[in-house]
Structure 1
Amino acid sequence: MDGTDYCGGGVHIKTNDEKMSLYIAAGRYSSSYRAESVAFHAALKWLVENNRVAQIHIFTDSRSLVQKLQSGPLSVKTKLEHDT
């Protein structure tokens, strides 16, 4: 195995009173877009479940994720995107 068989994403969350990191598996032979989407979904889920939604700043270098977010909810085609 050379590191390309399994893919995952990570996210760092900083609130006024805590810092944490989440690392999420994206599946075998996954794409970088899927890994970034899985991490983004996990971050939003954590923020909502922990009542941390007053103000959110998102920093990403994923052009494809930003483009998908800008295209709106009606362009959703996959289950992961639909769940977010």
Structure 2
Amino acid sequence: MREALRKARDTNLKSLQILLDSQVLVLALSEGWDMNEIAGVLQDIRNLATLFCPISFTFVPQLENLQADALASSCLDRLLVVT
């Protein structure tokens, strides 16, 4: 998500609606919850989010967005391949 926000910033988008399959992450971003495991990344996301008005974070169950989930999994798999 951090990289997506950077790309959105670089293309001068003004508003965003972000759909996530992690209800905990949506709450962390919307309600200001802290998650120690990813505190630095969350802070980066929050800082970037201030550049967009309006911006929203919406929970979408994984089963309702199988295509995006498959794409994200494929990208993660490629990142985790050790060469």
Q: TM-score range by the shorter chain?
A: 0.3 to 0.5
- TM-score normalised per structure 1: 0.41
Q: Indicate the structure whose relative CO is greater, using CA pairs within 8 Å and at least 6 residues apart.
A: 2
Task: Identify the structure with the greater helix proportion.
Answer: 2
- TM-score normalised per structure 2: 0.42
